[in-house]
Amino acid sequence: MLSQKRRNLNIVTGDSEISSKIVVENISHQYHIKKSKAEKKKEFTALKEVSLKVKKGEFIAIVGPSGCGKSTLLDILAGLINAKCGKIFIDGKLAHGPALDRGIVMQGYALFPWRTIRKNVEFGLEIKGIPKKERAELSRSFIELVGLKGFEERYPHELSGGMKQRIAIARALAYDPDVLLMDEPFAAVDAQTREVLQDELLRIWEKTNKTIVFVTHSIDEAVFLADRVAVMTSNPGTIKEIIKIKLPRPRRNADMRQSADFNWIRHKVWQSLQNTVTTINEERESGLTYKDLAEEISPSVVL
């Protein structure tokens, strides 16, 4: 029914803009920081003039050095922070505040310690007003999906970090948002589980046509999962470059990792990131202001 509505909307406006699920328009955000009580409040620019369009059903990954504002951007997308400047459109409509159409898996696991694993997964479903029986079914299937069957009645403190992370993912998947915002969701799991979860996420994504914004520190992961990879720089946080990942789909870990194309693109993203890191260092040393380094990546170096 929801997709029906969206289709209608498309027809009505006839605007190509509408096929963008998310439009980020000139977002800037400053945090107030207080170093000590005596000192006056200072402003720190976490994001500066970030613009981004994400198509419906697209998988976009965001990479960038630590502290470049990835989590901040995701919080803004989720409606948890109001950006100081700029606008967010979801389905062509100005978004303000959080809503069930966007689900976020946060960097800390943010599980409710007083709820069992099952009840944690059911939280969003409760808010949605889904009846108890259906809730139990959904939570069971998603807990099984992330490989934690049998842990339903445990409490979060009895689980390892990676297990908690998987529950946080199950919780976000369970209430079935159109847009899934994921902040380093696989950071705390071992390499093997990580690959299983990546494959599983792609499978769910292919099946459900969700729009996914995925923050990660791993270039491999970004390239493997995404349609496009946004590379961010810090101080202030901006999107420096967006790299298209033209690898065939469906992708699976087993056969993708060895492909030459995969490695070539991975190297390209790495190069781009490398430049952002050196930019920061140069800036610090010489006191230069930000300059666009995207042009400096020469294809010959990449090759």
Partner 1 sequence: MLLNLFKKLLGHTYSLLAVAIFLLIWEFIPKLGLADTTFLPPFSKVAAALWKLTVTGVLFKHLIISLQRAVLGFGLGLLISIPLGLLIGWFKGVERFVDPLLQTFRQTSALALFPVFILLFGIGEVSKVAIIFWSVQWPILLNTISGVKSVEPLLIKSARSMGASSFTLLLKVIVPGAFPSIFTGIRLSATYSILILIAAEMIGSNAGLGFLLYESEIKFEIPEMYAAIVTMSLLGLAVNYLLVAVGGRLTRWKEEIPNT
Considering only the stretches 16-24, 49-57, 86-94, 106-114, report the one whose residues sit in contact with partner 1 under the rule CB under 8 A: 106-114
Closest CB to Mg ion among 69 and 156? 69
Q: For the chain, how many residues are written?
A: 303
Question: Taking CB within 5 to 8 Å according to partner kind, which of Mg ion, partner 1, ligand ATP, none is near residue 286?
Answer: none
CA-to-CA distance for 163 and 150, rounded, in angstroms?
12
78 contact choice in ligand ATP, partner 1, Mg ion, none (CB below 5 to 8 Å, kind-dependent): partner 1
Interacting stretch for ligand ATP, rule CB under 6 A, among 8-16, 66-74, 185-193, 204-212?
66-74
Q: How many residues bind partner 1 (CB under 8 A)?
A: 27
175 binds, among partner 1, Mg ion, ligand ATP, none (CB under 5 to 8 A by kind): partner 1
Q: Is 115 in the site for partner 1 (CB under 8 A)?
A: yes
Question: Of the candidates 71, 211, 216, 233, which one interacts with ligand ATP according to CB under 6 A?
Answer: 71
Shortest separation between residue 180's beta carbon and partner 1, angstroms: 11
CB of 164 to partner 1, least distance (A): 12
Query: What is the nearest approach in angstroms of ligand ATP to the Cβ of residue 6?
Result: 30
CA distance 81 to 72: 8
Binds 94: which of partner 1, ligand ATP, Mg ion, none (CB < 5-8 Å by kind): none
Q: Does the footprint of ligand ATP cover residue 67 (CB under 6 A)?
A: yes
Which residue in 23, 68, 95, 106 binds ligand ATP (CB under 6 A)?
Answer: 68
Count of chain residues binding ligand ATP (CB under 6 A)? 13
Mapped to the 3 state alphabet, what secondary structure does the chain carry? CHHHHHHHHHHHHCCHHHHEEEEEEEEEEEEEECCCCCCCCEEEEEEEEEEEEEECCCEEEEECCCCCCHHHHHHHHHCCCCCCEEEEEECCEECCCCCCCEEEECCCCCCCCCCCHHHHHCHHHHHHCCCHHHHHHHHHHHHHHCCCCCCCCCCHHHCCHHHHHHHHHHHHHHCCCCEEEEECCCCCCCHHHHHHHHHHHHHHHHHHCCEEEEECCCHHHHHHHCCEEEEEECCCEEEEEEEECCCCCCCCHHHHCCCHHHHHHHHHHHHHHHHHHHHHHHHHHHCCCCCCCHHHCCHHHHC
Q: Pick between residue 89 and residue 155 the one whose CB is nearest to partner 1.
A: 155
Q: Does residue 129 bind partner 1 (CB under 8 A)?
A: no
Neighbours of 86 (CB within 10 A): 17
Q: Can residue 42 be called a binding residue for ligand ATP (CB under 6 A)?
A: no
Q: Verify binding: residue 213, ligand ATP, rule CB under 6 A.
A: no
Residues of this chain that interact with ligand ATP (CB under 6 A) are 31, 33, 44, 46, 64, 66-72, 107
